[in-house]
Amino acid sequence: MLLNLLKSLNNQAVQGIVAVTDKKQIETIKRHASGVAGLAEKLKYWDYKEVLQVHEATESVNEAINSLGLVPQGF
């Protein structure tokens, strides 16, 4: 997994994402990444509860925009 994240650093168009189910796994990843030069300071951690909130908000915005008919079909 860390090797794939390192590969993603070489291409700015690629964002490496690791999804975990609990904080213990995040701490394990942080610990392993701390020993890999150039990786630890590049990693970002986003709590899954906030991810779900942002997803719901984005869905709501998309529904509102679509209901107004502002975006042509098929776009």
pLDDT tens sequence across 18-69: 788 888 988 998 898 888 888 888 888 888 888 999 999 999 999 998 899 8
**Among candidate residues 48, 45, 22, 46, the one with its CA nearest the CA of residue 34:** 45
Kindly state whether residues 39 and 6 are assigned to the same domain: yes
Note down the domain range covering 73.
Answer: 46-75
Kindly state whether residues 31 and 51 are assigned to the same domain: no
Can you give the pTM of this predicted structure? Answer: 0.60
Distance of CA 3 to the CA centre of its chain: 17
Count other C-beta atoms under 10 Å from residue 48's C-beta: 13
Measure the N-to-C terminal CA separation of the chain; round to a whole number of Å.
Answer: 35
Domain count, the chain: 2
Kindly state whether residues 5 and 29 are assigned to the same domain: yes
Kindly state whether residues 53 and 73 are assigned to the same domain: yes
